[in-house]
Amino acid sequence: MSANLRIQAISGRAGPVPGEGTQRQPRLAKLIDTTTCIGCKACEVACLEWNDLPFRETVFQNTYQTMPETAWNYWNLIQFREHVQPDGTLQWLMRKDQCMHCADPGCLAACPADNAIVQYQNGIVDFQQDYCIGCQYCVTGCPFNIPKFNPQTKKMFKCTLCNDRVSQGLEPACIKACPTGCLHFGTKEDMSALAETRAAQLREHTSHTNAGVYDPQGVGGASVIYVLHDITNPEAYGGLPKNPRVPLSVRLWKGPLKWLGNLAMIGGLVGVTLHYLRFGPKQEGHK
């Protein structure tokens, strides 16, 4: 249903987005409740199955984790950490790591290739490999270390939030596979409400008095949100930044520096033209 795929933003686009704002659509979101994740990795397998990715070679690092980080053909990874709590007891933290589908995506801001990254009005941020030029600027733009480069094809890959399934009214493959119900999918509004309810339940009825919802406002909020046992320490969950932002360098690069550069280049061309009109060439033997 193309009606589910209204475009909101396009990378590297000179001018407005076609059809922007003609129809309003609810933002969708995936909710990951880390407190009920058992680390079974059914979501990892479902992701490979649906997206037709082969299992890749990995390295064993004395951990329950499948591989050190997500890869160009491994978009969904349970980050596993043994966390020592302040009272000395051990806690196993399991966090499903994948693209956050930011409302203000740094990858899209950094991308120079027209159409290579598209953000849909439902919140999904998707890479279009046909248009990707392999420059890897999105790596610099992303505060979550998500876009990964395939050195053979020179294209970038990441989680699509199962755009192909969602546009047909199905939930993402990882959601479908989860056996504990720690993964939920729906409108952002509903998922935020559900997450807040769960966090309040944890604070009131368990020892997790710091439980909270991780929905990073530095990137405008995300279409993937977490319930964490301890919202004050997201770093403990394996590379989840406390206050992620699109890097200032990317903002400067794509904003003021670009306009200063354009002015300088045009100014240079106008300058030499005016100089020639005013003074002309040096005449040999001119005294």
Partner 1 sequence: MICRYTLLERAIHWLAALTYAYVLLTGLAFYSPHLYWIAAVLGGAPTSRFWHPWVALVFLASLAWMWRAWRADMRITAIDRRWGKAVDHYIRNEDHNLPPVDRFNLGQKYFFWAMFFAGLVLLLSGAAMWFPEFMPAAARGAAILLHVAAALVTIGAFIIHVYMGTAVVRGGFTSIIRGEVSPAWAKLHHRLWYDRVTGK
Report the interface residues with partner 1, using CB under 8 A: 12-14, 110, 112-114, 132-137, 139-140, 148-149, 154, 247-250, 252-253, 257-258, 261-262, 264-265, 268-269, 272, 275-276, 279-287
Q: How many residues does the chain have?
A: 287
Q: How far apart are CA 115 and CA 15, in angstroms?
A: 12
Query: What is the C-alpha separation between 241 and 136, in angstroms, rounded?
Result: 21
Q: How far is the CB of 275 from partner 1 (least distance, A)?
A: 7
Gap between the Cα atoms of 154 and 135, Å rounded:
8
Residue type, 21: G
Q: CB-wise, 149 or 185, nearer to partner 1?
A: 149
Q: How far is the CB of 282 from partner 1 (least distance, A)?
A: 5
Q: Which are the contacts of 24, defined by CB distance < 8 A and separation ≥ 6? A: 121
Closest among 9, 24, 231 to 124, alpha carbons compared: 9
Nearer to partner 1, 242 or 275 (CB): 275
- Give the C-alpha separation, 124 to 171, whole Å: 13
Give the integer Cα–Cα distance in Å for 141 and 158: 14
In the complex, minimum distance from the CB of residue 53 to partner 1, in angstroms, rounded to a whole number = 19
Smallest gap from Cβ 137 to partner 1, in A, equals: 7
Q: Closer to partner 1 at the Cβ: 54 or 280?
A: 280
Between 162 and 250, CB nearer to partner 1? 250
Query: Which lies closer to partner 1 via its Cβ, residue 47 or residue 146?
Result: 146
CA distance 263 to 256: 11
Shortest distance in whole angstroms from residue 276 CB to partner 1: 6
